[in-house]
Amino acid sequence: MTPAPTYVLRQLTSGPGEGWNFVFGQALLGGGVGVWSLYRLGNPDESSGSFKQCLLRTLKIATHETGHIFSILHCIAYECNMCGSNSFEETDRYPLYLCPECVAKVCWMSGLEPVERYKKLAEFCKEDGLKEEQEFYEKSIKALSEK
């Protein structure tokens, strides 16, 4: 049983089950269930660069699958976190952030205001050393706050 309101409940495992094929993640569109594996995302203990790469891949896949939980389909209008990905090259190329259309969907469904959402995301990125992503969110805050 999950506490209300719960958007996402996560469970970590050490690897896939016997006979599983590889996918980055999968979610039941609008069904409240999504899974993704950390198993093949790289070795975070190898170096600081590897740690950052694993962190970004984890965040991208987790937020992408969470988007599906919120009923958001793959984005074909922009290069954003909701684009479909079938390789590490695609996952690494696509940004962590959402495009304007997907942000609007998340804000509408969650009741969050875009500027408040961006402030929280910028702070998260700052705490985790994700400088490029932090700068994107800070620029977004500035653009939405200008009159």
What is the average pLDDT value for the chain, to the nearest integer?
A: 85
Q: Which position among 18, 46, 65, 113 bears the catalytic label?
A: 65
Domain match, 36 and 79 both: yes
Confirm whether 65 is a catalytic residue. yes
Q: What is the pLDDT of residue 147?
A: 64
Domain of residue 121 covers 112-147
- Categorise residue 135: left if φ over 0, alpha if ψ from -120 to 50, beta otherwise: alpha
Domain match, 86 and 27 both: yes
Domain match, 91 and 116 both: no
User: Is the predicted pLDDT of residue 138 greater than 80, yes or no?
Assistant: yes
pLDDT digits (tens, 9 = 90+) for 95-137: 999 999 999 999 998 899 999 999 999 999 999 999 999 999 9
Q: Which residue has the tokens 């919120």?
A: 70
Q: How many domains does the chain have?
A: 2
Domain match, 37 and 88 both: yes
pLDDT digits (tens, 9 = 90+) for 7-29: 555 555 555 556 555 667 777 77
CA angle 69–81–101, rounded 5-degree value: 80
Domain match, 40 and 71 both: yes
pLDDT digits (tens, 9 = 90+) for 26-69: 777 777 777 787 778 888 899 999 999 999 999 999 999 989 98
Whether 10 maps to a domain, the answer reads no
Asked whether the beta carbons of 127 and 97 are under 8 A apart, the reply is no
Q: Which residues pair with 139 in a beta bridge?
A: none
